[in-house]
């Protein structure tokens, strides 16, 4: 006698099964998507025996594809169910949310590009997999379109560096530096309530210019975004801090000149400019509250995640 739960499982399996040859095509496509980043990790971490025509790397890739293919075939039913659920989530994200098919493609492309240039590509995968702490709360707190935030950012551009002439193309950059100075000069570090992570909205922090690192990062990002700049918040594990998009390497040279020779000469005298270059070659300047000038020293250079506002 066949048990009812066995019949139910078989019916579910039949309904979710993919007809041939589509099941093989799906498994092979997933195989390649997994094999490429894993091969990059192996390639950059294994000693190169310098065989002719890189035969060793070719054999490694073939062996990797075979192993992954066999594994995926053994888990075919479970994997196809997971893919089905994942596609539903992406369709919902594309239509109603902020993370859909386009975001997945861009993240995968960026990860592969960065891995090819990074000596420890496995760290790139880990950083992509790690969740950004309190992401939704932080996004809501960066109120760049709030009139109070916008008005404060405008007042900063009036109070600082307005007299600097002759840099029309760098006007937005200079105004963002004015926002940095206005917040940095007033900021007072205060811990969160004991045993609780308190995420202050930008308009809250405007009242007293006090809070911890995430409150500072939120306010700085909101004000820079309010005047047309592109900020991002970096997650390092135990610390959050803001960065602003400078542009390319030529723009970085101009930013370096403006900081060291025009706008922050005393604060940056004899100091280096600290920045990050992302997978697209874009330069991001450190704006942490611990820095006395834009591009000041990092409190922590390790990047576990980045939340960009553009």
Q: What is the pLDDT of residue 146?
A: 97
Same domain assignment for residues 158 and 282: yes
Q: Give, as one character, the DSSP assignment of residue 18.
A: P
Same domain assignment for residues 159 and 34: no
> Position of tokens 């969740």?
131
Average pLDDT for consecutive 10-residue bins of the chain (310 residues)?
53 63 85 87 82 88 92 84 84 79 77 66 60 88 97 97 93 97 96 91 97 97 97 91 95 96 95 89 94 92 84
Same domain assignment for residues 144 and 207: yes
Same domain assignment for residues 95 and 142: no
According to DSSP, the residues that pair with 275 across neighbouring strands are 285
Same domain assignment for residues 73 and 139: no
Same domain assignment for residues 245 and 187: yes
Among 67, 98, 129, give the residue marking a domain's end.
Answer: 129
Chain Cα centroid distance, residue 244: 13
Give SS3 for 247: strand
Question: Hey, what are 116's tokens?
Answer: 């090819």
Among 129, 153, 171, give the residue marking a domain's end.
Answer: 129
According to DSSP, the residues that pair with 188 across neighbouring strands are 210
Beta strands of the chain (E only): which ranges?
188-189, 210-211, 231-235, 240-247, 275-277, 283-286, 305-308
Same domain assignment for residues 32 and 119: yes
Contact 276, 303 (CB under 8 A): yes
Q: What's the total number of domains in the chain?
A: 2
Q: What is the pLDDT of residue 13?
A: 56
Same domain assignment for residues 10 and 98: yes
Q: What is the pLDDT of residue 241?
A: 96
Specify the CATH number for the domain of residue 240. 3.10.620
Same domain assignment for residues 171 and 86: no
**Residue 201: how many CB atoms within 10 A of its CB?**
19
Same domain assignment for residues 300 and 152: yes
Quote the domain boundaries for residue 280. Answer: 135-308
According to DSSP, the residues that pair with 276 across neighbouring strands are 284
Same domain assignment for residues 143 and 60: no
What region does 39 belong to: left with phi over 0, alpha with psi -120 to 50, or beta? alpha
Q: What is the pLDDT of residue 127?
A: 60
Q: pTM of the prediction?
A: 0.65
Same domain assignment for residues 190 and 149: yes
Among 129, 149, 178, give the residue marking a domain's end.
Answer: 129
Contacts 24+ apart (CB under 8 A), 39-46: 39/64, 40/112, 40/115, 40/116, 40/121, 41/115, 41/121, 41/122, 41/125, 44/118, 44/119, 44/120, 44/121, 45/122
Q: What is the pLDDT of residue 121?
A: 65
């Amino acid at each position: 006698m066949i048990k009812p739960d066995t019949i139910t499982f078989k019916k579910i399996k039949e309904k979710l099964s993919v007809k041939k040859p589509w099941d093989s095509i799906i498994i092979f496509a997933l195989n390649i998507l997994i094999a490429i980043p894993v091969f990059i990790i192996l390639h950059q971490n294994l000693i190169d025996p310098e065989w002719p025509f890189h035969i060793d790397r070719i054999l490694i890739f073939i062996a990797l594809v075979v192993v992954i293919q066999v594994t995926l075939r053994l888990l075919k039913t479970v994997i196809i169910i997971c893919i089905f659920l994942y596609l539903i989530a992406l369709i919902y994200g594309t239509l109603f949310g902020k993370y859909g098919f386009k975001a997945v493609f861009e993240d995968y492309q960026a990860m592969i590009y960065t891995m090819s240039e990074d000596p420890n590509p496995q760290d790139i995968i880990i950083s992509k997999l790690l969740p950004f702490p309190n992401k939704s709360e932080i996004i809501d707190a960066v109120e760049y379109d709030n009139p109070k935030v916008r008005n404060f950012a405008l007042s900063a551009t009036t109070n600082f560096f307005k007299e600097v002439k002759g840099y029309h193309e760098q006007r937005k950059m200079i105004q963002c530096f004015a926002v940095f100075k206005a917040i940095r000069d007033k900021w007072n570090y205060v811990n969160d309530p004991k045993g609780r992570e308190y995420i202050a909205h930008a308009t809250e922090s405007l009242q007293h210019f006090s809070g911890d690192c995430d409150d500072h990062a939120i306010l700085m990002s909101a004000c820079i975004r309010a005047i047309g700049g592109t900020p991002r918040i970096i997650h390092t594990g135990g610390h959050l801090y803001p960065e602003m998009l400078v542009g390319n390497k030529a723009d970085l040279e101009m930013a370096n000149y403006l900081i060291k020779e025009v706008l922050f000469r005393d604060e940056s005298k004899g100091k280096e400019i600290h920045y990050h270059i992302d997978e697209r070659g874009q330069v991001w300047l450190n704006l942490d509250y611990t820095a006395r000038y834009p591009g000041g020293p990092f409190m922590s250079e390790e990047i576990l995640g980045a939340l960009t506002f553009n």
